[in-house]
A and B are shown apart, each in its own frame.
Chain A
Amino acid sequence: MLAYILRRILLLALVLFGVSVLIFGILMTFSPERRAATFVTSPQQVEDIPKIIKQFGLDEPFYIQYFRWVREVAKGNMGWSLVASRPVTEAFWTYFPITLEMNLFAAPIVILFGIWLGTISGIHKDTWIDHSSRIMAIVGWSLPTFLFALVMLMIFYGYFDLFSPGILSDRLNMFIHDNPGKFYRYTKLYTMDGILNGRFDITLDALAHLVLPVMTYVIVVVALNMRVMRSGMIEELSKDYVITARAKGADKRTVNLKHARRNALLPVITVAGQLLALSMEGSIAVEVVFNRHGVGWWLAESATQLDMPVLMCICLFMGLVFVATNLTLDILYAYIDPRIRLT
């Protein structure tokens, strides 16, 4: 077990190195001029591009620049983000909680709701329940997220003036900023902090701003989970031990929920893991539309404006998340499925 984890950590190192080299390599395909141009914000400034290239040594060979970058990172300096116009690490820690918060609400709903739907339609295979719920899920799945998000925005915010976009309404935001003494940012998550500080209005307000993003995200993503769960259920229900259980005198409910579902859950765990690992890019469109300035939004901005340090930072982070999730998943697996032993 321990050896296993250790090996995984080694792997992590490998992954991070690989990822960084890859992304760096891709970004290096730009001409130095182009990369210098990222610092330019108005036509007048274009004059200074050669100077900028000099200043940052953008015309030096790949490995030199790469190692310069590594050295900086080792010093804990991930670079300067133009999009956020502040150091990348600092920016990351301001944006990350926003994305995290959204996913903290979305993920459980996605997973549980998906499992629930999957179980239902698995049990009632080929009945109208099955078909309708599947079609529903797939339709959700086939919606382009940004489109759906905009529609949601129009319906709720446009018609009913509900759930305004953003993260927190100005009044409260200003309040928080005005008296940092009264409102501690323990977790950086507004909902949590609101509770911890006994300011439930803030929690509620934050929730109100979360409703639309979470809803959109859930409806789009749930299909993934539901599908796996469904086929899992169908498969398990066809197995012999189910009959054994029936022969024991187990009632349908017990058979479905205790015997079949337990086994059907295994593949779902994997999917859930993927969801977790991908949640960040999953939230790009949502964050852009609902004007939540989280990592997803930052990513979109940086990718289009070619904010290299940001891309690097986020890719590395995602690599980290990915490996970490897989590790936890494997452990979870071993816990749920007695047949698996980690070696």
Chain B
Amino acid sequence: MSEHPRWRELKFTLHRIFRNPSAIIGFSLLFIFVAVALLAPWIAPPKYLHNPYLMPHKGFSPVPKAPSKENIFGTTDGQYDIFYGVIWGTRTAFKIGFFVVGFAALIGIALGAISGYYGGILDEVLMRIMDIIWALPTLVLAMAIVVAFGRGLDKVMIALAMIEWRWYVRVIRAEILTLRDQDFVQAAKIMGVPDYQIILRHILPNAIYPALILASMEMGSMVITAAFMSFVGLGAPPGFADWGQMVALARNYIVGPPDNPLKFWFTIVIPGGCIILFVLAWNLIGDALRDAFDPRLRRR
């Protein structure tokens, strides 16, 4: 019982998490993806060193080629090697997730914490602004931003980050409003602990869980959103190693020729499968986290 209580808490939480089958599935999936992402340069050596995300292609024929020896997952519209795309797409997926979520979470948590903790006029103003931001439809805003700043995945990521932070503000603020008036915070105040310390040491650690859950969920959904942008034609350019873009590229081959409608299954199933598994992984983890962290569901 000598160890730090928060540490014990963490251990206990992890313990709980890994009792949960869905979490195990989730984490193992994630682990695979991470491994692939890290080993990408060795699994699929890039052709253009100055930009490894360019998928290599032989010829220009739009008709996909079935899996064969030289490209084991076959080629998609434009003869891009699906295998290569899938491997490097993993990196892209993580990039999207981490960038968007990280950025959004940072802003959101900071704002939420401050306005929730200090309240008053500051809070009021921020909340009105939030009202406006919330009223904006995500995709519309994202599209507008992307169209304005030019196409491309980087723009999409920026656009999404510029929208998604509102979630974190909401979540964190709600948590902090409940925590703010609790005894341990009051105690700290009376003891004259500076505000930033109270926020960082006492409040955030207790308020962070919902944000974490949210983040893990978003890691996945952002990839889907990016895929949607590619579908509308605002995402990554054709030939860029990104699952969403590959799916969008292959969308005209979902329906094969009438005599053999599944002829081009690989163009859609492989990248699509990747997306699904990726999102699935994060969602499962998110669920597990929720079950583990949610103070009301604990200890049982």
Contacts and interface: CB of A to CB of B under 8 A. Distances in A.
Interface string B67-108: 000000000000000000000000000000000000000000
A314 interface: yes
Contacts of A145: 228
Given A142-B224, A285-B231, A154 B148 contact: no
A120 to B, nearest CB: 16
19 contacts: A11-B128, A27-B144, A27-B148, A131-B21, A135-B280, A144-B227, A146-B248, A147-B254, A147-B268, A151-B268, A153-B255, A231-B294, A281-B137, A281-B140, A299-B143, A303-B147, A303-B232, A306-B147, A322-B134
B90 to A, nearest CB: 16
Interface in A1-37: 11, 14-15, 18-19, 22-23, 26-27, 29-30
B134 to A, nearest CB: 6
Contacts of A15: 131-132, 135
A303 B261 contact: no
A326 B291 CA distance: 28
B291 to A, nearest CB: 8
Interface in B219-237: 220, 224, 227-228, 231-234
A303 B140 contact: yes
Interface string A304-330: 101000010011001100110000000
Contacts of A299: 139-140, 143
A299 B275 CA distance: 25
B135 A281 contact: no
Interface of A: 11, 14-15, 18-19, 22-23, 26-27, 29-30, 131, 134-135, 138-139, 141-147, 150-151, 153-154, 158-159, 227, 231, 234-235, 238, 278, 280-281, 284-285, 299-300, 303-304, 306, 311, 314-315, 318-319, 322-323
B296 interface: yes
Contacts of B247: 144, 147
Interface stretch (B3-11, B114-122, B198-206, B282-290): B282-290
A319 B300 CA distance: 43
Contacts of A158: 255, 261
A234 B135 contact: no
B189 interface: no
Contact of B136 (A22, A30, A138): A22
Contacts of A306: 147
A150 B280 CA distance: 20
B132 A18 contact: yes
A314 B275 CA distance: 30
A147 B247 CA distance: 8
Interface in B242-300: 244, 247-248, 251, 254-255, 261, 268, 272, 275-276, 278-280, 283-284, 287, 290-291, 294, 296-297, 300
Given A30-B148, A231-B294, 17 more contacts: A18-B129, A19-B132, A22-B132, A29-B149, A131-B21, A139-B276, A141-B283, A142-B278, A144-B244, A144-B275, A154-B261, A278-B138, A281-B138, A285-B228, A304-B143, A315-B137, A323-B131
Nearest to B278: A142
A330 B93 CA distance: 38
Contact of A144 (B139, B228, B290, B291): B228
Contacts of A323: 131, 135
B279 A141 contact: yes
A278 B21 CA distance: 32
A322 to B, nearest CB: 4
A304 B234 contact: yes
| Residue among B21, B278, B287 having the largest count of chain A Cβ atoms under 10 Å | B287
A289 to B, nearest CB: 9
A150 B268 CA distance: 11
B109 to A, nearest CB: 21
B271 to A, nearest CB: 9
B212 interface: no
Given A19-B135, A238-B296, A146 B148 contact: no
